[in-house]
Every structure is written in structure tokens, then in C-alpha cells.
Amino acid sequence: GENFSVGRSAVKISVDLLSNPLCEQDQALLDSMTALDTAMRRMDAFNQEKVNQIQKTVIDPLKKYSSVFPSLNMAVKRREQALQDYKRLQSKVEKYEEKEKTGPMVVKLHQAREELRPVKEDFEAKNKQLLEEMPKFYSSRIDYFQPSFEALIRAQVVYFTEMHKIFSELTEQIDQARLTDPERERENEARLNELRALSIVADD
């Protein structure tokens, strides 16, 4: 967002400068301001392109990847729930096993064991699945993000290469629009003298 607003601010500044009355009086200044305005608009366009690229290649894939987490968290929760059921029925079986083996108690023990078997199998299946998925999930992160990081670097390189080009061309255009160095120095000196003449503080 920050780069985006910087580009927009630069365009606004160049528009304000172009509409300054001074530009109407000075052709060289007008040419320089027009070159600046064009450069700022190009900069803004490349900036928006970079923002869009980063959105598509980095932000969106990140959001998509993080949406995988809920399913993994869900699998962890389901395993946890299955473990609680398994422990509860296991302790019930153990309790009956410790009791005296009367007819009714043997029936209860048999029922508890029958009840425990599918719950134990369910827990073991969920546990196995999670143990297999976790490493796959974590190792997939690198493969998944590698293209995103590469795209991010490419977007930055393209952007800064273009910025360098825009400002190099702008410098050339402004230099052409302006005077040669000796003329520029003479002009600056004349303006400084005018300012000194206006100055309230007299030179020693």
C-alpha cells in the first residue's frame, strides 16, 4: 500500500507543478515539468503493475495455502477426540478385568472389549493418517513457496530496473530542456544577485 500511495502522490505533485503559472512563462521549465509528469505517470503505472503482480504471485497463494491449515487442524482435533474415546473405553475394560470373574461380569467385560475394538481401530487409522500427512504437508511448503519467492524477486527487479530507466531518461530530458552548465551558472548567479538585492540583511 505504501508504494502505491507514493506513486499517486508523485503524480499529484507533477500535475500541481504543471498547472503553476511559471510554466506558462518559461518554455524550458514547461518542458522539464512535462517530462517530470510523464515520468511520474510511468512510475505510477509500473508501481500498480508491481502491486498487482505481488498480489497474484505472493498474497493470493499465501491465502490459498493457509486455507489448507484448517483441514490439518481438523485432522488433529479428530485424532484427539478418537484418542479420548479410546482411553475412556480402555479404562472401562481394565476396570472389568480387575473385577471377580462372575457370569454377569464376564458378559460386561466381553461387551466392553467389543465396544473398544472399533474405537481403537478408528484411533489407529486417524493417527496413522496424521503421521503420514504431517511430513508431506511440511515438506510441501518449500515447493509451494519457491515460485512465489522467485516471482516476488522478479517483480522487484523489473520495477527497480524500470525506475532506473525512467529517471535516467528524465535526467537527460531535463538537461536538454535546461541551459548548458556555464549558462546555467550565469543564470543562477544573476538570480542570486537579485535575491541579495531583495535581502533585508546587507552583506558585510
User: What does the pLDDT look like over 124-175, one tens digit per residue?
Assistant: 999 888 888 888 777 777 788 888 888 888 888 888 888 888 888 888 877 7
**How many structural domains does the chain have?**
1
CATH code of the domain containing 166: 1.20.1270.60
Q: Calculate the alpha carbon distances from 173 to 33, 38, 149, 168, 200 in Å.
A: 10, 11, 36, 9, 37
Whether 202 is in a domain gets the answer no
In this prediction the pTM is 0.50
Q: Using the predicted structure, report yes or no on whether residue 118 has a pLDDT greater than 70.
A: yes
Please tell me whether residue 2 adopts helix, strand or coil conformation.
helix
In a domain, 203, yes or no: no
Q: What is the dihedral angle through the alpha carbons of 181, 186, 189, 193, rounded to the nearest 10 degrees?
A: -160
Question: What sign has the CA pseudo-torsion 74, 79, 84, 85?
Answer: positive
Share of the chain above pLDDT 70, in %: 79
- Give a yes or no: residue 204 inside a domain: no
Q: What is the pLDDT of residues 8-46, one digit of tens each?
A: 666 677 677 767 776 667 777 777 778 888 888 888 888
**pLDDT of 203 higher than 90:** no
Has residue 53 been placed in a domain? yes
Query: Residue 50 in contact with residue 151, Cβ under 8 Å?
Result: no
Which pLDDT belongs to residue 170? 84
Is 11 within the bounds of a domain? yes
Within-domain flag for 8: yes
Instruction: Report d(CA 111, CA 116) in Å as an integer.
Output: 9
Q: Do the domain assignments include residue 101?
A: yes
Per-residue CA distances from 126 to 82, 92, 97 (Å): 8, 22, 27
Q: By residue range, what is the domain housing residue 182?
A: 1-197
Any domain includes 93: yes
